[in-house]
Amino acid sequence: MRHGPPPASSLASPQPEQLVTSSDLVRHFGVWQERAVRAPLYILHRGRPRFVLTSIETMDALCAAHAPAPPPMPPALVDATILLDGMRDLVVVADAAGTIIASSRTARAHFGTVVALGGPIDLIAAPSARTPLSLAIRRVLATGSGDRLEMPSAAREGRTLTLAIEPAGTGVVLFAQDGTPEREAAQALATLRATDAALAAATGVASVTINPRGYPVDPGIALASITGLTRDALAMIRFVSLAEIGMRVSLGAAIERAMAGETPPPLHIGLLVNRADPITVRVGLAPLRIGTAVEGVTAVLVAI
């Protein structure tokens, strides 16, 4: 229970259900305390509000200390912030002591309060990378030459940032880019190429992606090996053309089902081989989904 008048904003328009006499409060305390959870109650004394009954959460909010307003930024810094907010990179500016004095809108969106004005700039890195970042900043300050490094982000777990650190006046400016998508794409491509090389080494096994028009996408060495055609030649013909004529309709129908999002049962076809007799292969097909859209079909061929 709070003594003294409640805040003026609360007293401005108390609703009738928020007013209670002390005697009625005592007689029906259970009812009134339930109402106090939803909104403050004003306890009347001689017809005027004198005390307030409210929840502990409301009291905590009323009594919480308010942080002092930050000092206004110098006009030059205001102009710099406006300029930074138009940049796509994550940009953070620090003075010679490593204290953040400006940041871009993209940096604030990525790092949140980590890049608040007055904070230490090395906190943008995960704990394991803060020492290397601090050393790199010191080198830039000492030599006047820029530096680059990669580090894990403190704000986004599993994300890797590529940093360019450049001198700026007596301090430094950091240009950061989220390099995780590029790294993931490079790793996926390397894995795909290694898998294709392993399939070629295993002989009689190949995989390929078929685009919506029915053509192989970047056919690998495994498919080239099993068909006897060059990769360039494979990219110029429709995938169904690799099957013997009698099997092309059923293969095309299976590809259409996969393109529609189904996984058709495997089928056996006669695969044409350059300058050799056809071979029988088992073909498995599955839709290639990117997000919710089917962007192609993945085919796996196994000689039998």
The string of pLDDT tens digits covering residues 233-263 is 999 999 999 999 999 999 999 999 999 999 9
The amino acid that residue 88 corresponds to is R
> Picking from 146-150, 246-250, 275-279, which range would have the lowest pLDDT averaged per residue?
146-150
Would the pLDDT of 225 be above 80? yes
Would the pLDDT of 219 be above 80? yes
Residue of 149 and 282 predicted with greater confidence: 282
Chain mean pLDDT for the chain? 84
Average pLDDT over residues 123-137: 91
Position 249 scores a pLDDT of 96
Would the pLDDT of 102 be above 70? yes
Position 32 scores a pLDDT of 79
Average pLDDT over residues 101-122: 89
DSSP annotation of 140: H
Cβ partners under 8 Å of residue 79, min gap 6: none
The separation between CA 13 and the C-alpha centre of its own chain, rounded to angstroms, equals 46
Given a contact cutoff of 8 angstroms between Cβ atoms, the answer to whether 205 and 199 are in contact is yes
Residue of 116 and 55 predicted with greater confidence: 116
Distance CA 114, CA 106 (A): 13
Question: What is the assigned CATH class of domain 8-63?
Answer: alpha beta
Position 5 scores a pLDDT of 45
CATH 3.40.1620.10: which residues of the chain?
Answer: 8-63
> Picking from 103-107, 117-121, 156-160, 197-201, which range would have the lowest pLDDT averaged per residue?
156-160
CATH 3.30.450.20: which residues of the chain?
Answer: 75-178, 189-303
Would the pLDDT of 12 be above 70? no
Position 63 scores a pLDDT of 67
Pairing of the two strands 19-21 and 147-152: unpaired
Position 299 scores a pLDDT of 97
Residue of 90 and 57 predicted with greater confidence: 90
Average pLDDT over residues 106-114: 87
Question: What is the assigned CATH class of domain 75-178?
Answer: alpha beta
Would the pLDDT of 141 be above 70? yes
Phi, psi of 302 (to 5 degrees): -130, 120
> CB neighbours (10 Å) of residue 148?
11
Tell me the fold of 189-303.
Beta-Lactamase (3.30.450)
